[in-house]
A and B are shown apart, each in its own frame.
Chain A
Amino acid sequence: MRKWIYWLVAIAALAGLQASLKGLIGAYNYQIVILVGINIILAVSLNLINGVTGQFSIGHAGFYAVGAYASASVVFYGGPSIRAAVAFLPAMAQDGVLLLMGSFAAAITAGLAGLAVGIPSLRLRGDYLAIVTLGFGEIIRVLILNLDVIGGSRGFSGIPQLSNFFWVYLAVLITIISIHNLVHSSYGRAFVSVRDDEIAAEAMGVDTTRIKVMSFVISSMFAGIAGSLFGHYTMYLHPNSFLFTTSFNIIIMIVIGGLGSIEGAVLGAILITIILEVFREFGAMRLVNFSILLVLIMLYRPQGLLGTWTLFKKRDRAAPAN
């Protein structure tokens, strides 16, 4: 019962902010806030693979792209008929239904893509897995580039704007809570055990293969949702938004924040998004300083900014990666 009250309060707060935020902080800052939200979803979900399960994925942008394009095509091509089916609802609710359908499709397709990448991970370890995930990400991008029905190299334009602060941060909440609960469940301990010692975990009866594939699938689903929200915010998608540099940025977020910790991933996403956005206005020299800052943080604080610090001291958090 109390849980539902919390959710109601959260939704009311989000709706209230949605109504007032743009006026309060201006359109440019509003856009940064949206981007921060989307990157939080990406970082927290990638953290499940790289931080919690200890696998080495550097192709998160691929799943992000799959989700973005899947959702955009469902809404673009199926939008009119979906709208007709729910014509009795007010326009805002129709938008919501469309976005939910799109995000659902995004989660499913991205999850399937995650399954496809997860299966080679049965045989590959460490750097080999890393390069395969990177490869999948690039293959997905090139495939999209060649699919004319979703815009190809011209980009996918004409996507209706459906997502906004409310939906993005609702998804952020859902992502954080789901992954937090997952990590702190008995399943979650299995994820952590695969990271800490795969052989010991296997000896204790953990189906390590299944756990690894599961982490890929779950993480990809959330990345897909992030993609859906992104596409329906910017109203235009281009394969170049999903280059492997995007994957690198997400990795930077989780490592800067503190690998394996959800709080760290959130902090990293906020920091890196804002820094990159602020630096965008200035030239390459500022970007040089950003990259030097990155190197220095890693040299002087390799455990990330938060390290082992956690918001909820009482509960045992998933131990930090080492």
Chain B
Amino acid sequence: MATFLQQLINGISQGSAYALIALGYTMVYGVLRLINFAHGDVYMFGAYMGFYLANNKWIQSNVGTSTAGAVVVMVGAMALSAGLGIVIERFAYRPGRSGARFTLAFWLGIVGAGIGHLVHPSLISLAIGALGGILVGVILEQTGLRPVRQNSRLSLLIIAIGVSLVLENGGQQVFGVDPKFFPQIISTTLWHVGELTIDSQKVIVLAVSILLMLLLNLFVKYTRTGKAMRAVSFNLDAARLMGINTDRIIALTFAIGSALAAAGGILVSLLYPKIDPLMGIMPGLKAFVAAVLGGIGNITGAMLGGLIVGMAEVMAVGYGQSTYRDAIAFIILILILLLKPAGIMGKGVVEKV
């Protein structure tokens, strides 16, 4: 019984981290009907941003390494990741929707920066390369090379896979291939309750996740922007006709989702401090499973799905089936989808003929 309770605690904290990532998947899916495969890599990015902020001398000396420091690291990483989310949306997904400008300039800028760095590994040649790439991109765009409006969901999915690959490979390039160790930004205490050992880190993970989810729920339910978000997710075209700036709402959705993923990244890094550029792949996939499990597009469903997946995984490991760990989430998913094809909280879509 004590083992079970112990595993339950581990499961809830692991699950709440999955839930945070799953929220981003489900929100983006809600507004764009897109499986944003790059989301798991945003989670990785968030963890790295946390790592660099926590090791930043200025923050260490001016804010300190106490709770305030941890909050600054967390909020900073969330803000940076939100920025990344907006950039991804603007240059990878929006061009296919409404032909956004400077798309080519952006991507060629990255290519140029890479080439510049390859020619001579210094910041100046990197900047020159980036400027060259941007210039070529702008000129090509002036000649009439514009992104094509996307009709196919599959090509949008390939774009998502492409962005995910850019982040993974770019992460290996920028952050280095070797794993890094996430600093203990919050000191650990162990509480003993009867036979149970409760790790304060796990409590923090749980508390922060619940707080963030609560804030998200309040935001989506009770603010005007939240209402607009729900409207966009209900019907994008109708929302635009009602005067909602849909591009802005979609960007905001990406920002919030990415910030939550970053929070998840930092919280998980508190529990498992090893971070590497490919760390987002598996959690991203499982969080996506969690989102589908709960009924994709449904915020409460994503939280529930995250808890179920996290719990099942921890239980499987705790009861000696650790080699099956990566399969557990999918097995549950398939079982639930066989019973409820739209997920636990998802509403079945009535097909119009």
A residues adjacent to B (C-beta < 8 A)? 50, 56, 120, 123-128, 130-132, 134-136, 138-139, 142-143, 145-146, 153, 199, 244, 248, 251-252, 255-256, 259, 283-285, 287-292, 294-296, 298-302, 321-322
Interface residues of B (CB under 8 A from A): 29, 33, 35, 92, 95-96, 103-104, 107, 110-111, 114, 117-118, 145, 147-148, 150-159, 161-166, 169-170, 172-173, 177, 285, 288-289, 292, 296, 323-324, 326-327, 329-331, 333-334, 337-338, 341-343, 351, 353
**CB-based contact B154/A124 at 8 Å:** no
> Which 4 pairs between the two chains have the least Cβ-Cβ distance?
A135-B330, A291-B165, A142-B327, A294-B162
Pairwise interchain contact B150-A138, C-beta atoms closer than 8 A: no
Bound CA–CA A126/B331 (angstroms) = 19
Q: A251-B161, A299-B95, A321-B152 are in contact. List 17 more A-B contacts (CB 8 A).
A: A120-B337, A123-B337, A128-B292, A131-B288, A135-B330, A139-B334, A142-B323, A142-B326, A142-B327, A145-B323, A199-B353, A244-B285, A259-B154, A284-B170, A288-B173, A298-B158, A302-B150
- B147 and A300 contact, CB distance less than 8 A: yes
User: Is B330 a contact partner of A252 (Cβ separation < 8 A)?
Assistant: no
Instruction: Check A284 against B341 for contact (C-beta < 8 Å).
Output: no
Q: Which of B151, B164, B166, B173 contacts A283 (CB 8 A)?
A: B173
Residue of A nearest to B118 (CB): A285
Residue in contact with A292 in the complex, picked from B118, B152, B162, CB distance below 8 Å: B162
Are B327 and A285 in contact (CB-based, < 8 A)?
no
Chain A residues near B118: list those with CB within 8 A.
285
B155:A255 contact, CB within 8 angstroms = yes
**Between A and B, how many residue pairs show CB distances below 8 Å?**
152
Which residues of chain B have C-beta atoms less than 8 A from A56's C-beta? 154
Chain A positions within 8 Å of B351 at CB level: 199
Q: Is the interface of B mostly helix, strand, loop or mixed?
A: helix
A37 to B173, CA, bound (A): 32
Closest to B146 in A: A300
Residues in B whose Cβ lies below 8 Å from that of A287: 165, 169
The complex places the Cα of A288 from the Cα of B96 at a distance, in Å, of 21
B contact residues around A289 at 8 Å (CB):
111, 114
B158 lies within 8 A of A124 (CB): no
CB pair A124 B337 closer than 8 Å? yes
Chain B residues within 8 Å of A283, by CB: 173
Is the CB–CB distance between A298 and B145 below 8 Å? Answer: no
Closest to B277 in A: A284
B324 near A146: Cβ-Cβ < 8 Å: yes
A179 smallest CB distance to B (angstroms): 19
CB distance from A297 to the nearest CB of B (A): 9
- B111 and A292 contact, CB distance less than 8 A: yes
Known: A128-B341, A295-B163, A302-B150. A136 touches B323 (CB 8 A): no
Max chain A C-beta neighbours (<10 A), residue from B172, B173, B327: B327
